[in-house]
Amino acid sequence: MSNPSILILPGDGIGPEVMTQVRRIIDWFGEKRGLVFDVSEDLVGGAAYDAHGTPLTDETMAKAQAVDAVLLGAVGGPKYDVLDFSVKPERGLLRLRKEMDLYANLRPAQCFDALADFSSLKTEVVSGLDIVIVRELTSGIYFGEPRGIIEEGNERVGINTQRYTESEIDRVARSAFELAMRRDKKLCSMEKANVMESGVLWRQVVTEVGKDYPEVELTHMYADAGAMQLTRWPKQFDVIVTDNLFGDMLSDLAAMLTGSLGMLPSASLGAPMANGRPKALYEPVHGSAPDIAGQGKANPIACILSFAMALRYSFDAGEEADRLEASIETVLAEGLRTPDLLGEEGVAPVTTEGMGDAILAA
């Protein structure tokens, strides 16, 4: 059998800086744990535009379709603001998501104990928190037709349409149930079936899919009540599945339960491939951070945690992912901080590479 394959797309700004640390960790797994990956690297975003005049070449697109997982850094930067919309760096990422048909966006909210006082909530509410929000990413009110601003009588009307087909709900629900099976086997589905027809259908289809996953405890909650419960006692949840719009809001809310943008990973999953694992792209939630690029200040943990998600969801290596996350917990407990994790004066920050060194040592 050939080794599992990864395509690395470092991108722009701090993307290459944080990805260098991930690369070292991938090599470590090969050397020390016998978990060898076939790694290839390519350009995306502004870097690809500079080299090829397009933010994503067809060759790179084809490679992304062929590998087991794509790891992406970040794209964009002020240098590219003047470009035509069709070749903007972000278009490279959008093309990847669209052509790989990545319909399930996973955003974990995971609290590292050493950073629990970073949260705006009480420590006991967030310490030990480990939940994942699955947001439907390719349909719903962001795409539904009709949409637009029309003239009606003597005023303008802004229109969007919330629209979900049964198959769109079915496939994202399956992703969420599969995820729940690999975690604590608890899934909460959120919609507003009390006021929205799409919510009524959402609840019906999720319930039907649930019959294929009898081991998973399924609950339903209205999304507004869910927002309240997420801030009141988030540890009651394990996996949450919701639509595009509610997911946008709830995942930002949940992410901020735990601290800095430099700590937040994400995964975008599509349909299962021949090996049974989903098509997948893993990336930190943060952007290219041009304000700190090239200064060794970037926190690599979001990108490293994105690789931990890849270990767990693309490579069936959950224990190795635990090992990696435990080493991050260790270095944070030892007091290592990149500048974004420093509130007060007096503690000397470590560099991007210093953080990578410490995680490898741990």
Binding-site annotation: residue ranges for Mg(2+): 224, 248, 252
From 21-29, 33-41, 169-177, 281-289, span contacting Mg ion (CB under 5 A): 281-289
Q: Does 292 bind ligand ATP (CB under 6 A)?
A: yes
Pattern of binders to Mg ion over 284-323, x per CB under 5 A?
A: ---x------------------------------------
> Is 55:43 a contact under the CB 8 Å cutoff?
no
222 belongs to the catalytic site: no
List residues forming the annotated binding site.
77-90, 97, 107, 135, 224, 248, 252, 287-299
Beta bridge partners of 267: 106, 282
| CA dihedral of 100, 177, 327, 289, whole degrees rounded to 10 | 40
Output the CA–CA distances (angstroms, integers) from residue 46 to 13, 42, 81, 126, 294, in the order listed.
9, 12, 10, 38, 15
Please name the residues in contact with 251: beta carbons below 8 A apart, sequence gap of 6 or more: 105, 107, 109, 133, 135
**Quick one: which of 138, 125, 25 has its CA closest to 71?**
25
User: Which CB atom, from 15 or from 287, has the smaller least distance to Mg ion?
Assistant: 287
**Residues 64-93: x where in contact with Mg ion by CB under 5 A, - otherwise, as a string:** ------------------------------
Number of CB atoms found within 10 A of residue 71's CB: 27
Of the candidates 22, 24, 68, which has an alpha carbon nearest to the alpha carbon of residue 314?
A: 68
By beta-carbon proximity to ligand ATP, the closer residue of 89 and 210 is 89
Q: Which of 107, 171, 279, 286 binds ligand ATP (CB under 6 A)?
A: 286
Position 164: which residue type?
Y
Residue of 291, 319, 322, 334 that binds ligand ATP (CB under 6 A): 291
> Other CB atoms closer than 10 Å to residue 360's CB: what's the count?
15
- By the rule CB under 6 A, 312 interacts with ligand ATP: no
Phi-psi category of residue 190: left, alpha or beta, with phi > 0 → left and psi -120 to 50 → alpha: beta
261 in contact with ligand ATP (CB under 6 A): yes
Q: For the chain, what is the largest distance between any 2 Cα atoms, rounded to a whole number of angstroms?
A: 71
Nearest distance from residue 129's CB to ligand ATP, in Å?
Answer: 21
Residue of closest CB approach to ligand ATP: 287
Residue with Cβ nearer ligand ATP (93 or 311): 93
Active-site annotation holds for 224: yes
Given the complex with ligand ATP, which of 268 and 299 has the nearer CB atom?
A: 299
List the catalytic residues.
142, 192, 224, 248, 252
Residue numbers of the site for ligand ATP (CB under 6 A)?
A: 14, 76, 261-262, 286-289, 291-292, 298-299, 302, 340
**For binding to Mg ion (CB under 5 A), which residues are involved?**
287
